[in-house]
Chains A and B, each alone.
Chain A
Amino acid sequence: MKAPAQATNSPAGGWSAMLRARMIHNAAVRSQPAAQHGELRIEVPTRRPGWLVPPLSWVVRPPAFRTLTLDALGVEVWTLCDGQRTVEAVIDSFAEKNRLTFHEARVSVTAYLKSLLQQGALAVAADKNP
């Protein structure tokens, strides 16, 4: 018999901690329906970079918002992130609606959530009484 292989070396808890997390919209985000049916445009406030000081800031004026356009599938995920549902519940709803298996939905949804988190549109909701 050989030594334990890759799958055995994965974190002992698997990805369950990630599934139990809850996502919430950044309260500063503004959203409005996009021109194309089913899409949503969201504006995420940007932070002024540290290097942007006078006199450079008198000339360079970065946009105050970063605009993201979510397609119909993105809107589904966005709507499900209400701070109450866990990531697992979001995945289950997405999988059921789109007739995907759990792991198909998990891969798509978590990649999408990661990109929204990185762009500041979403935040991880923390429990008041952990």
Chain B
Amino acid sequence: MLHPMNADHGPAGQTWIWRHFRLELPADWEMLQFSRDMEKGRCAFADRDRFRLEFDWRKVPGAPDFERMMGDYRARLESSSGAAVSARSAGAWHGLQVRRPHGSSSRFGAYFAENGCLVELVFLWPGEPEDPLERSILDGFAAEPETKAGGRRWRAFGLDCVAPASMKLAQCVAQPALAGLEFAGSRAPDRWSFRRLGLVPHWMKTSVGEWLDAQTAGRVQEHQRSSSDKAGHRMEKVEGHFIPRGLLQRRGRYEAAAWICPRDGRLYHAERIRPRGDDTNAEPPDGYIACCPGVRWPP
């Protein structure tokens, strides 16, 4: 069984966990581009003015020959742009720094054997490179291991959640005042979804419980609603039998919870649909998402 997570937030800056990698970044850097592809993808982070960091990953069969890679890349850079290129390294990271009159960049690569991934971090410096910041981000970057109970943690766009490691990230929504991550298992209708919604006073004209009922959209039978209090959070929950629309669709067990976090004023929504007879991960769905550091979910 998966164990509910504990919310831990980095003391300085902000922790992002994406594709089973953890990044510790300055608090004002936000992810503006993302990829859900586990094999090969890219995320890009920006401060308020411009892109600052690119995080690329690619599954590879083994550790690459970094010396040769760096040598080839350096030669290409020097011949094409004539920029000042210098070699850099930090722990397992091999890199190059390119200085240009209108901004510099540093590129670092490392192989993470536990994930079988080649990771590249590209820093974009509007002026002179900031070596201490670069070093701190490289030192803070790490593979995020599977939890003891077989869960995978994701932390992005204000969402901090854990889903079973066997599930794939099926959908990610990142819009103003709406963030959502949806995970799908191999056996229909196995699906976990976590959402975080903002601007609540502007659109929510009902109670949280009524809103939660409306989310079931007639797909749930023997619908039971309950409420409870957890560390100052009023939790509304719904359980029932999931009856999908359409022919030959598999039925399942539906559980959902919603609450407004008094700390950030956002509405959190956790929804889980499990195949019938699946009794693993029996904790309620709200046990797999944390909304604020003050809240420790049930032990």
User: A residues bordering B, Cβ < 8 Å?
Assistant: 1-2, 4-8, 10, 12-16, 19, 72-73, 88, 98-108
Contacts and interface: CB of A to CB of B under 8 A. Distances in A.
8 contacts: A2-B56, A2-B120, A10-B50, A88-B48, A101-B30, A102-B28, A103-B48, A107-B176
Contacts of A102: 28, 30, 48
Interface string B38-56: 0000101010111100101
Nearest to B32: A103
Interface in B55-111: 56, 69-70, 72-73, 96, 102-103, 105, 107, 109
Size class of the B contact interface (CB-based, 8 Å): 35 or more
Contact of B198 (A2, A99, A103): A99
B260 to A, nearest CB: 11
B5 interface: no
B126 to A, nearest CB: 8
B33 A15 contact: no
A75 B61 CA distance: 56
DSSP majority for the B interface?
mixed
Interface in B174-196: 175-177
B122 interface: yes
B114 interface: no
B253 interface: no
A4 B124 CA distance: 11
Given A8-B105, A19-B49, A100 B70 contact: no
Contacts of B50: 10, 13-16
A1 B175 CA distance: 32
Contact of B51 (A10, A104, A107): A10
Nearest to A101: B30
Contacts of A10: 50-51
Given A19-B49, A98-B199, A108-B176, A1 B107 contact: yes
Contacts of B158: 101
A64 B42 CA distance: 50
Contacts of A7: 33, 42, 44, 46, 51, 54, 122, 124
